[in-house]
Structure 1
Amino acid sequence: MTRALLAALLLSSASAAFAQATPAATQAQAQTPAERLRQLFRDSDEANLRRNPIAALFRGDYRYADQLGDFGSDAYFAAERRAAEEELATLRTIDRNALNPTDRISYDVFEYQRTDDLRDLQEDLLSLTRVRPLNHFTGIHTFYPVLASGRSAAPFRNVQDYDNNVARHRQFVQIFDRIITRFREGMQSGVVETQLTIRNVIGQLDTQLAAPPEQSPYAGPLANFPEAVLEAERARLRTELIAIIRDGIYPAYRRLRDFLQNEYLPRAREGVGLVHMQGGDRLYARLVQQNTTLPMTAAQVHEIGLREVARNRAEMEAIQRRVGFRGTLREFLEHLRTDPRFAAASRDEMREGYYAIGRRVDQRIGEIFSTIPRGRLEIREVEAFRERNASTGSYQPGNPDGSRPGVFYYNAYDLPSRRTHGMEALYLHEGAPGHHFQIALANENEALPNFMRFGGNTAYVEGWGLYAETLWDELGMETDPYQRFGGVNADQYRAIRLVVDTGIHAQGWTREQAIRYMLDNSGVSETQATTEVERYIANPGQALAYKIGQLKILELRARAERALGRRFDLREFHAQVLMTGALPLAVLERKIDDWIASRRRG
């Protein structure tokens, strides 16, 4: 609309338009390549926040706090595609050779990310993804209650924040009904979700609907009104919020639940892998490359996984001999899964155990990191309404200004199955120095363009988390052989993921076959193995990123140690890896190689 209006003005008054345009054109010509690059980044970021206001909320930017966005609509996908095309066209008018080394990294990351985004927005792939808008592992039906609970990124500081919350709820209902429309489109095209994932979603919806509206997560903000909300306003806000939960959100949940149960489930596919879905082989090949950021095939990833599983099995057997356990490795694994000494006696004991681990890490972390995040890290138990299908642990970023902490979530569901010998490794990965360090240090680094501060890719993010687990020795962790086993076991089931994920989605493995492989080759419990396998079914390819990313970072560290010898500084290496945000692995490799070369010259 703006361009059309400008064209009309130009036609009606060419001389005036020329007089106004000349200074702007002169200014553009006067900008250096670096200035044009930074302007592109700023413009892109601002436009992205307008299209995706939830991203703004998580940054602490509340200009669009009354909006959820037009997520899932044709207009939304068209706008995302148009933005990527226009921004790539602008980028390619900037002379990369005229930029300094840091700006070249930014240029390369932006080009990679927008090209990657554009690939997923092409019709051949979009037709396979938009008609499967949620499953039990990822979806707005479990994400949004947390956002709205008063314990996440959405603020509840004043009356306006509460009114914005209700406005978002009205849009949420519209999005929920759009989800049904997308599922129907998939039923017509033959691209459908699995029976397993849909049954799990139905269970999640039933769990949420079982709670009265007044006791739902959506009512959480009513429990603690801030002082800025006067008593005279509280009754109105309470009435409006309960009304939209009762008359808007809950009916939307029931509509989706009944549709899935009565119409969709009978049409859902029985085979759990993408190999059984129309177009699934094409989609999975794309997901392998997207999640590893490398030109890899499913077959290559599968072979790497088999080698890593064998390596970890050998270390497990060594620990078994060290503790004097007589029997086979399978018997040792079963002993670790079932012996009560390796289970927390209560949820309180598990929480206190993580608090103690956090204190021990904090005492040593400065020895191997030169920069510590300003934002604090909070430890929380996964909420009851989502714990059954949630991962063993996860991380939620805080605000860049530190006003909202980062959160390490641990899962206490089926407490006897949660083995204490895996707690240290899990904290290193999800908390410090894993996701909290990587994400918080990027978010807090105002020298980076926003797409690098707040963006990222799974191979780097999860690769760093798994690499952080290998720092147990430097941090004085896993001194007990059983905790060390927990660390090896944690690495093992990331190696297993390479085998199982590709097995399910490229080779046609069944759910039961994948669970059995996990139990035979790691110490995870059957509950954990089941949750993990169902996660891989629901989120194909994502689980490949961990091990591939970790192996690349370890490879780069070993390369730097060999090249620099005594001049190698682990604190400096970590700064090189962390302080430019989440880089595609090929870009990270170029950066570390350049750093090694500069250190050798120096």
Structure 2
Amino acid sequence: MKSIKLALVASGVMFALSGCINTELSDIANSTSQLNTPNAQATIVSELSSEQQLDVLVAQYYDESLTFKPINATYSGRSEFNDTFTPTISKQNREKKAAFYKKYQQRLRYIDKAQLTGQALLSYEILKRDLALNLEGMQFPSYMLPINQMAGSHNTFAGFGSGQSAQPFNTVEDYNNFIKRSEGFVQWLASVQSSMDQGIDEGITLPKPLAKKLQPQFAAHVVQSAEDSLFWGPIKNLPSSFSAEQKQQITAKYRTLIMEKLVPAYKSMSDFLANKYIPNSRETFGYSDLPNGKAWYEYQIKKNTTLSLSANEIHDIGLSEVSRILSEMKKVKDTVGFKGDLAAFFDHLRDSDEFYYNTPQELIAAYENVKQKIDARLPLLFDIAPKAPYVVKAVEVYRAQSAAGASYASPAPDGSRPGIFYINTFNLKAQPKFLLETLSIHEAAPGHHFQIALQQEIEGLPDFRKFGGYTVFAEGWALYAESLGKELGLFTDPYMWYGRLADEQLRAMRLVLDTGFHAKGWTRQQGIDYMLANSSMAKSDVIAEVERYIAWPGQALSYKLGQFKIQQLRDYTQKELGDKFDIKAFHTQILIDGALPMPILEEKIKRWVATQQ
């Protein structure tokens, strides 16, 4: 397949990449103090073009943003933050972040948008939108809900410390960096406990079932010996290039770190959750039950979907889609000759051993085989592909019980680490064979791996876009990618087609449940019953999904709504271009500028279509 650069030329894209900042601009950008006041910004306007001003601004914006998100810096290959952890949760740090957003809002006003085109125009529109949205979100007390059973910096830190994630352990400095980062983690974790304690006082807590799932994640790290700790992993794999003295010193430091700092910090948090937080966590489930919760949920919808839709509109869309997909599932039932109603068919698919693997190794091997099959067919619909490879890997044991059934982790920008398609082998009855093709498409190629890895490889894309993203774009693309299965020559087996429908049904049910929990007062059990009645999902998987939607309001809406928008844009492009429509060119246009908010993507596609007529 063509490189991204060649694909841009071949498809006649009107938006040329602005390129990297040249030496002159780099010198100006390095003089940060020159541009940090409105007067200084106004002075320099006459010296640079609008596009050059924006290049400087977005470079500085991203660099400064990393002080608030040093974990992101490590993931994006910026080593200077490898010894730093997430800032503690405090009023002072929230005020610093708000001042940061306002400063860049003010600087952006000095740039003449009318002079911008292509990538520069997209960057301007994205940054303007993001800054306003981030400031709007600061009115809500999300700092009182800093972690949950699904996500949080506590899990990221554990992954880093295991030696199996983005934190490097190749040099003595790398090992020392993690020790320093660990000190920051201990301080951050203490602030998490303080913030959650404040949440108890103000009636802003996790629902009790979620709090109960969170506590074991901390208890798991309370070990009796350092060798039993997840954080001993890097010691087990000390580089052979280290001298005996270096190995001895590092081992002693890590033993002290684990037993005297990390274990006490994890024990304190585990005890707090067990003894105080869980007994005082709430019995309700939705954000609508929290102070100012209705407005908070509306914000979450806007943040996650980038669209202007109400909870009621989304709920109705979900109900309609669930009904439509059930009709398609009935056709599959009839095709395979199953005698019985759809509920009985669901039970058959849940309970029959023929639809499941016997060992985790068999499951992983099956996905590796499907990977080869799909990869060979991608040139049918794509002119572009990421340079970075991806591998299939089982979810780590320490997080498997609460983790999603499958997920994707992006490759290292420098190519040192491939993308990872994670399969959760914790419960094999939650991983049916008929999901093989559709799940691989979604999480790997041409789904998440294609979109995210390509984004990191686009020449000239500003770092705040290269390493940023939007749930509705990423998940919308991945679900749209699933819809391409038949065009790729897949889903020829009726059960594999059922797998595609089952995956789409999951996303349709999410529209119903997310809005049900957070806008309509649904209970956890009500959500469980609804999913079991409308799918063949395993009960353990249903419970994990329900608790995910409760923990992440709005996130689950992104999949189906994003797919709808991308399909809508494809239909629009086909209608406008007629015989000139080229599916490969359309896919290039969707992917070639990285993740975009849906309104900005729509305007971009319409501008491109106008150049093709």
- TM-score, normalisation: structure 1: 0.93
1:539-550 paired onto structure 2 within 5 Å: 539-550=552-563
Question: 1:211, 1:421 → 2: CA distance?
Answer: 43
- Relative to structure 1, is the Cα distance of residues 133 and 598 closer, same or farther in structure 2, using a 3 angstrom cutoff? same
Question: 1:510, 1:210 → 2: CA distance?
Answer: 36
CA shift, 1:204, in A, is 2.2
Question: 1:227, 1:115 → 2: CA distance?
Answer: 50
Provide the residue aligned with 1:491 in structure 2: 504
Question: 1:23, 1:460 → 2: CA distance?
Answer: 36
- One of 265, 268, 274 as aligned partner of 1:255: 268
CA shift, 1:420, in A, is 1.3
- One of 46, 49, 62 as aligned partner of 1:29: 46
Give the counterpart letter for 1:301 in structure 2. I
- One of 73, 78, 102 as aligned partner of 1:61: 78
Task: Map Cα deviations across residues 450-490 of structure 1 (whole Å, 9 max, x no partner).
Answer: 11111111111111111111111122222211011001100
Counterpart secondary structure, 1:394:
strand
- One of 423, 432, 437 as aligned partner of 2:445: 432
Indicate whether 1:553 and 2:570 are aligned: no
Per mean C-alpha deviation after superposition, the further-off stretch among 488-497 and 253-262 is 253-262
Indicate whether 1:442 and 2:455 are aligned: yes
- One of 117, 121, 132 as aligned partner of 1:100: 117
Indicate whether 1:220 and 2:233 are aligned: yes
Task: Map Cα deviations across residues 304-333 of structure 1 (whole Å, 9 max, x no partner).
Answer: 101111111111111111111121111111
Provide the residue aligned with 2:400 in structure 1: 387
Question: 1:314, 1:71 → 2: CA distance?
Answer: 51
CA shift, 1:40, in A, is 0.6
Indicate whether 1:52 and 2:65 are aligned: no
- One of 116, 127, 137 as aligned partner of 1:110: 127
Provide the residue aligned with 1:460 in structure 2: 473
CA shift, 1:537, in A, is 1.0
Contact 1:208–1:385 (Cα < 8 Å) also in 2: no
1:402-413 paired onto structure 2 within 5 Å: 402-413=415-426
CA shift, 1:366, in A, is 2.1
Contact 2:70–2:86 (Cα < 8 Å) also in 1: yes
Give the counterpart letter for 1:76 in structure 2. N
Give the counterpart letter for 2:588 in structure 1. A
Give the counterpart letter for 2:90 in structure 1. S
Question: 1:289, 1:71 → 2: CA distance?
Answer: 27
Provide the residue aligned with 1:189 in structure 2: 202
Counterpart secondary structure, 1:108:
helix
Question: 2:354, 2:41 → 1: CA distance?
Answer: 72
Task: Map Cα deviations across residues 189-214 of structure 1 (whole Å, 9 max, x no partner).
Answer: 22222111111111222333358432
CA shift, 1:27, in A, is 5.0
- One of 366, 370, 374 as aligned partner of 2:379: 366
Provide the residue aligned with 1:3 in structure 2: none
Unaligned runs of 5+ in 1: 1-16
Question: 1:389, 1:212 → 2: CA distance?
Answer: 25
Question: 1:243, 1:427 → 2: CA distance?
Answer: 42
Contact 2:370–2:440 (Cα < 8 Å) also in 1: yes
Provide the residue aligned with 2:258 in structure 1: 245
Provide the residue aligned with 1:120 in structure 2: 137
1:125-140 paired onto structure 2 within 5 Å: 125=140, 127=141, 129-140=142-153
Question: 1:299, 1:353 → 2: CA distance?
Answer: 41
CA shift, 1:260, in A, is 1.4
Give the counterpart letter for 2:572 in structure 1. R
Contact 2:406–2:424 (Cα < 8 Å) also in 1: yes
Counterpart secondary structure, 1:51:
coil
Contact 1:375–1:403 (Cα < 8 Å) also in 2: no
Q: Give the total of aligned pairs.
A: 577
Give the counterpart letter for 1:507 in structure 2. K
Give the counterpart letter for 1:567 in structure 2. K
Provide the residue aligned with 1:203 in structure 2: 216
- Relative to structure 1, is the Cα distance of residues 474 and 223 closer, same or farther in structure 2, using a 3 angstrom cutoff? farther
- Relative to structure 1, is the Cα distance of residues 206 and 96 closer, same or farther in structure 2, using a 3 angstrom cutoff? same
Question: 2:598, 2:87 → 1: CA distance?
Answer: 32
Task: Map Cα deviations across residues 478-522 of structure 1 (whole Å, 9 max, x no partner).
Answer: 221101100110000100000011111111111111111111111
Question: 2:294, 2:274 → 1: CA distance?
Answer: 27
Question: 2:555, 2:544 → 1: CA distance?
Answer: 15
CA shift, 1:36, in A, is 0.5
Question: 1:498, 1:59 → 2: CA distance?
Answer: 32
- Relative to structure 1, is the Cα distance of residues 215 and 138 closer, same or farther in structure 2, using a 3 angstrom cutoff? same
CA shift, 1:598, in A, is 1.0
Provide the residue aligned with 2:526 in structure 1: 513
Counterpart secondary structure, 2:146:
coil
Question: 2:221, 2:67 → 1: CA distance?
Answer: 30
Provide the residue aligned with 1:577 in structure 2: 590
Give the counterpart letter for 1:579 in structure 2. I
Question: 1:369, 1:208 → 2: CA distance?
Answer: 45
- TM-score, normalisation: structure 2: 0.91
Question: 2:306, 2:225 → 1: CA distance?
Answer: 45
Q: Cα RMSD between the aligned structures? A: 1.8
Counterpart secondary structure, 2:163:
coil
Counterpart secondary structure, 1:332:
helix
Provide the residue aligned with 1:6 in structure 2: none
Question: 1:580, 1:79 → 2: CA distance?
Answer: 31
- Relative to structure 1, is the Cα distance of residues 69 and 139 closer, same or farther in structure 2, using a 3 angstrom cutoff? closer
CA shift, 1:74, in A, is 2.6
Contact 1:51–1:70 (Cα < 8 Å) also in 2: yes
- Relative to structure 1, is the Cα distance of residues 90 and 350 closer, same or farther in structure 2, using a 3 angstrom cutoff? same
Q: What is the percentage of aligned positions where both structures have the same residue?
A: 36
Give the counterpart letter for 2:271 in structure 1. D
Provide the residue aligned with 1:598 in structure 2: 611
Question: 1:268, 1:37 → 2: CA distance?
Answer: 46
Counterpart secondary structure, 1:472:
coil
CA shift, 1:230, in A, is 2.3
1:9-24 paired onto structure 2 within 5 Å: none
Contact 1:564–1:596 (Cα < 8 Å) also in 2: yes
Provide the residue aligned with 1:4 in structure 2: none
Question: 2:558, 2:445 → 1: CA distance?
Answer: 19
Contact 2:88–2:191 (Cα < 8 Å) also in 1: no
Provide the residue aligned with 2:95 in structure 1: 78
Task: Map Cα deviations across residues 343-399 of structure 1 (whole Å, 9 max, x no partner).
Answer: 011111001001001111111112212121111101110011110110001111111
Counterpart secondary structure, 1:409:
strand
Provide the residue aligned with 1:264 in structure 2: 277
The structure showing larger relative contact order (alpha-carbon pairs under 8 Å, at least 6 residues apart) is 2
Contact 2:441–2:478 (Cα < 8 Å) also in 1: yes
Contact 1:269–1:277 (Cα < 8 Å) also in 2: no
Counterpart secondary structure, 1:134:
coil
- Relative to structure 1, is the Cα distance of residues 184 and 373 closer, same or farther in structure 2, using a 3 angstrom cutoff? same
Provide the residue aligned with 1:285 in structure 2: 298
Unaligned runs of 5+ in 2: 1-33
- Relative to structure 1, is the Cα distance of residues 404 and 299 closer, same or farther in structure 2, using a 3 angstrom cutoff? same
- One of 148, 153, 170 as aligned partner of 1:157: 170
Question: 1:139, 1:534 → 2: CA distance?
Answer: 15
Contact 1:504–1:537 (Cα < 8 Å) also in 2: yes
Counterpart secondary structure, 2:407:
strand
Indicate whether 1:400 and 2:417 are aligned: no
Per mean C-alpha deviation after superposition, the further-off stretch among 518-527 and 201-210 is 201-210
- One of 309, 325, 350 as aligned partner of 1:312: 325
Provide the residue aligned with 1:231 in structure 2: 244
Counterpart secondary structure, 2:400:
coil
- Relative to structure 1, is the Cα distance of residues 210 and 518 closer, same or farther in structure 2, using a 3 angstrom cutoff? farther
